[in-house]
Structures are given as structure tokens and as C-alpha cells.
Amino acid sequence: MIFTSIDIPFVKKTYFDQIRNISQISKIITYPDSPVNNFEVIRRIGTSDIITQDIFVNINKNIIDSSPNLKAIFCQSVGYDNIDHVYAKSKGIKVYNCPGFNANAVAEFAFSLITSLFRKIPSAQSHVKSGGWMYRYFEGNELMGKTVGIIGYGHVGSRISQISKGYGLKVLVTLHDSTKKIASNYVDNIVSLNKLLQKSDIVILAVPLTKDTLHLIGKTEIGLMKTTSILVNVSRHTVVDEYALASSLIHHKIFGAALDLMITEPFNVKNYSVEIQEMVNLPNVIVTPHIAGVSKESSVTLGNMFVQNIKNYLNGDLTNCINL
């Protein structure tokens, strides 16, 4: 079988070396850059049997139809909304992801963002670097006794709830999957989305991107939040209507926001509307370049899971196959 990474692999080289030792893999092809368009994606896939790609490369119906030998797609991520996995299934193509590999990294990072906002750490750092030392400017808020609302309770959401209890936070959860049942000592109440937004001092998004979660948080939902609350998005960018969020922050409807994702990635603030530019530059807004799940530890877990997924597929094992 021919295995192709159609753009720069996120998984480290050492794991590709492991794949080379799999007897069923006859050839591995990697590229040093990202494809510039769909035509290049199709060219790179060529006669490949199995492929992998970054989350910024969309595998749509046209690409699938133009790849006659394609049998399986391996995500180097938890998310797979960039792949038309339903159509892939209709063509007999299996899609594998790496669920939960970075759950702890994302959860810990979420609290880095929260404490940074509550204690005004970015502004304080900028103040010191510019020569200041006026600590009275940076009176912040403590977390103990506050309420955190977690939207979604998968690998990331459940880890966030555990960490929350250590801070002395009350934990509310709303489930994006209505069929899911949880029983956890780390959750005080499972509530509706509206009640969570009304009661929470901190709202954290930890849901996948689906047709049901697209713009889950928009103008109406933000309008339910406390003026003293913050919104933290470590899930997917279009779960939040960023224009509605920008307006709410500019007009002081909520206290602040921390975003590890933006409308398009890579993101360049200069290419977007005045509202988005103003939002990103507000002192009560933190934006990071999709790094919540990136840690040395999670990279090891990802690499091992990625290799195991390929072995599973070749052995007929459907563990982590998302389009059964």
C-alpha cells in the first residue's frame, strides 16, 4: 500500500519511521509544504491507498471522487470536520481520528487562559516590559467560589471539570449530545444551555464542530451571559459567531474572551473587519494560534495513537474509525 502525507505532517518523523516498518506499507510519500489548492491535493494523493493531512486541508466529495485508490484517511487530530466522512463512507473509505490524545493539554491550557484573563496577566506583562511597575492598575479576580459552565462533556470537558474542582469552582455542564449520560463527582449540575450561560462566570466551549454546534454561541446566547463573565473557546472556531462576540466585547456586554481559534487559520488580523481587529486588540481579549492541544506529552500520545490507528486499519480493527 502507498501511504501519503499530503502536507507537512504534524506527527513527528520518528513515527513515520515506525510506519515504514509495517510490512503492508510499500511506499511512504511526504511533502515539505502545504497544497495550495484542491488540484494540488488531488495530484498529491495520486494512486495512494491511504493518506493523512492537517486540519486545514479539506477532503471533499470532489477530491474523494478523484482518488480512485483511496481506502482510508488518518487524521492527526481529534477533529475531522474538514473531511466529508459521510461521503467517504459511501465510497467505502474509512476515516480514523485520535480521540482524547490532547485532552489534558487543552484543559490545562484553558485554565492558563482563564487565570490570565482574571488576573490581567498579559496587560501586566506588557506594562512591565514598557518600563512600568504600577501594580495598582492590575487588581484582578480570584477563581474560588465562581461558577464555570462547560459546554460539552467529552475528553476535554471532563478533564476541565476535574481541574475546576481544584480551584474551588462550582461546575455546571450542558451536553451537546442529548443521548449522553454522565455521573461525575466533578459536576454540580447538568443544565440547559440558557441556564448555564445565565449562571456562569466562566463559559468554556469544549464541543466538536457539527451541524448542531455551528454558531452555537451567537448574539442571543452571548446576551444571556453576565456582564462580568468571560468566554473561552478551545474547541472549534465556528462554534462561536465571532462577529457577535466582537460586538459584545466592544460594547462591554461581557468582561472578556480567550480564543485559541479564529475565523480562518492561519489568521492575520489585518485581513479582517474593523470589528474583528478591534476585538483582537482589546486588553481583555487573549488570542493564541491554536496551541491549546500542543504539548510535548500530547505529541507522544498522538504519535503512538496515529501509528496504532494505521496498524488497526490494516488488521481490520475499527477502533477510532469514525464513519463505521
* Number of residues written out for the chain: 324
Cβ-Cβ contacts under 8 Å for 51 (sequence gap 6 or more): 3, 4, 5, 6, 45, 67, 70, 72, 73, 74
Q: What's the DSSP call for residue 59?
A: B
pTM: 0.91
* Contact between residue 55 and residue 77 where contact means Cβ atoms under 8 Å apart: yes
* Contact between residue 276 and residue 245 where contact means Cβ atoms under 8 Å apart: no
Query: How far apart are the C-alpha atoms of 250 and 144, rounded to whole Å?
Result: 27
What is the pLDDT confidence band of residue 185, given thresholds at 50, 70 and 90?
A: confident
Q: Give the mean pLDDT of the chain.
A: 94
Sorted by where each starts, the structural domains of the chain and their CATH numbers stand as: 2-101+296-314 (3.40.50.720), 103-287 (3.40.50.720)
Q: Is the pLDDT of residue 181 over 80?
A: no
Q: Is the Cα dihedral 78, 79, 84, 87 positive or negative? A: positive
Question: What angle, 0 to 180 degrees and rounded to 10, lies between the N-to-C axes of helices 13-20 and 296-314?
Answer: 20
* pLDDT tens, position by position, 216-274: 999 999 999 999 999 999 998 889 999 999 999 999 999 999 999 988 777 888 888 89
Q: Is the peptide bond before 266 cis (omega within 30 degrees of 0)?
A: yes
Q: What pLDDT shows up at residue 272?
A: 84
Mean pLDDT of 155-162: 96
Phi-psi region at 21: left, alpha or beta (left = phi > 0; alpha = psi -120 to 50): alpha
Q: Quick one: which of 262, 211, 270, 212 has its CA closest to 241?
A: 262
* pLDDT tens, position by position, 54-110: 888 999 999 999 999 999 999 999 989 999 999 999 999 999 999 999 999 999 999
pLDDT above 90 as % of the chain = 87
Query: How far apart are the C-alpha atoms of 27 and 9, rounded to whole Å?
Result: 16
What is the pLDDT confidence band of residue 179, given thresholds at 50, 70 and 90?
A: low
Q: Is the pLDDT of residue 11 over 80?
A: yes
Q: What pLDDT shows up at residue 268?
A: 83
Give Cα 234 to chain centroid, integer Å: 5
Query: How far apart are the C-alpha atoms of 259 and 217, rounded to whole Å?
Result: 13
Mean pLDDT of 120-129: 95
Q: What pLDDT shows up at residue 178?
A: 57
Q: What pLDDT shows up at residue 176?
A: 75
Cell 457577535, located at residue: 244
Q: What pLDDT shows up at residue 323?
A: 96
Q: What pLDDT shows up at residue 74?
A: 98
Query: How far apart are the C-alpha atoms of 162 and 206, rounded to whole Å?
Result: 14
Give the catalytic positions in this structure: 236, 265, 290
Q: Is the pLDDT of residue 177 over 80?
A: no
